[in-house]
Amino acid sequence: MYFAALLARTEDGWEASDTELDDVETLSDLADLAREASPDEDTVLVLIEQEDGWFGVVRVDGEEDPRIYVSDAAAAARSSYGEILLTDELLGREPGDDGADLDALDLDGTEDGEPDDEDADGPATAGSAEAVPHGPVGDAQVLEDLGVSEKELRSMTSDALNEIAEVLGASEVLETVR
């Protein structure tokens, strides 16, 4: 089960709204959705969680690039919502690096299934996709200036969004959209 909400910082405090991510396909779409929640270009947080799996925080400050934190990249990679957050940049990959470069493959005649002596016990071949890391990725200081330290964010687990909202003083408004 998924939950997603927008928390927009205003002069009067935080305003929450639940959000439907069905039409969001990219991080840019998500950032645009967040910017629409705050016409004054204030801070907007997109909070996403998969129950007992992972959570993500996307922070959008005006027209700046979104800042992202994901609690467990491997778990998020198995989710359509998580895939939106796990950009190549966040995972430390070159854009479009989703497989082997054909020019880099060693086509020495053993590609018909006969292992080369060097490759028999060696590392994965150039054709294997890079693994998504288990554990947190992204900007763990995304909420530092709002009162949630990197250490606190990294230690949060099952009730993370409520813990974040409580530190922000937004737990009541978040609860109204839950």
The tens digit of pLDDT for each residue in 100-129 reads: 444 444 545 554 544 444 444 444 433 334
Question: 61-90 burial, b for 16+ CB within 10 Å, e for fewer?
Answer: beeeebbbbbbbbbbbbebebbebbbbeeb
Compute the radius of gyration of the chain from its Cα atoms. 20
Spans in the chain with pLDDT lower than 70: 96-130
pLDDT value of residue 97: 54
Give the span between the Cα atoms of 16 and 44, in whole angstroms.
Answer: 10
Residue 122 pLDDT? 42
d(CA 37, CA 127): 42
Q: What is the pLDDT of residues 42-51, one digit of tens each?
A: 899 999 999 8
pLDDT of residue 119: 46
How much is the pLDDT for 19?
84
- The rounded distance, in Å, linking the Cα atoms of 59 and 13 is 16
Long-range contacts of 53-59 (CB under 8 A, 24+ apart): 53/79, 54/79, 54/82, 55/156, 55/160, 55/161, 56/81, 56/82, 56/85, 57/142, 57/143, 57/153, 57/164, 58/27, 58/30, 58/31, 58/34, 58/85, 59/139, 59/142, 59/143
- Predicted confidence at residue 130, as pLDDT, reads 57
DSSP symbol at 162: H
The phi and psi torsions of 45 (rounded to 5 degrees) equal -110, 130
Q: What is the structure's pLDDT at 129?
A: 43
CB 94 within 8 A of CB 88: yes
Cβ proximity of 164 and 158 under 8 Å: no
CA pair distance 138, 56, nearest whole angstrom: 10
The confidence score (pLDDT) of residue 98 equals 52
- Contact yes or no for 122/61 (Cβ under 8 A): no
